[in-house]
Structure 1
Amino acid sequence: MIRHLVLFKLNAGVTKDDPRIPAAVAAFEKVGQTVPELREWQIGWNITDRDIAQDFAINSLVEDGDALQAYLTHPDHVAAAGLWREFATWVIADYEV
């Protein structure tokens, strides 16, 4: 199993009130429902206020490297990431569990 973590940071000047954000969050909610390779799918906004904190997170689980690649190239994932690319940057970690 592979745990896939993504932490998003909104770009300077962008807040959660930005009108692009509801569609971007909805797009990731859709990913959790449409990508069959996902064993677990959690998304959410950071609830703490610390200088080092990121703003939004994805915590997911897939079976193996092939499933991870299928998830990454799934059209719904590609579309959602494209929306976030407009107003945020992110870091990822993939590790075996």
Structure 2
Amino acid sequence: MTKRRVVLKREEPPPPPSPPPMDSANSSNTVHVRYGECQRNHAANVGGYAVDGCREFMAVNNEAEEEGSLTCAACGCHRNFHRRVVEEAEEASCSSDCE
């Protein structure tokens, strides 16, 4: 019986992407995430499709650390069932020589 030698090559993960170059040193981007309408299918167990009509995610509590802040006050669903809307806004800060 002959023996076979197997050689495994380990691939290195690709380097992390570099941050995009900024147009000016005085501007910064802020990302605001909000959660829109509920997309949970309430009729999935009977083979249909029905959403509850909740228009926007409303947290039960304002504090992010509490478990209740992940539950919608309007429909009772988890935040992951709501459509995620990412809004980017560029804020320009003026240095001392701007007027």
Larger Rg over CA atoms? 2
What TM-score results when the alignment is normalised by the length of structure 2? 0.28
Q: TM-score, normalised by structure 1?
A: 0.29
Larger helix proportion of the pair? 1
Structure with bigger strand share is: 1
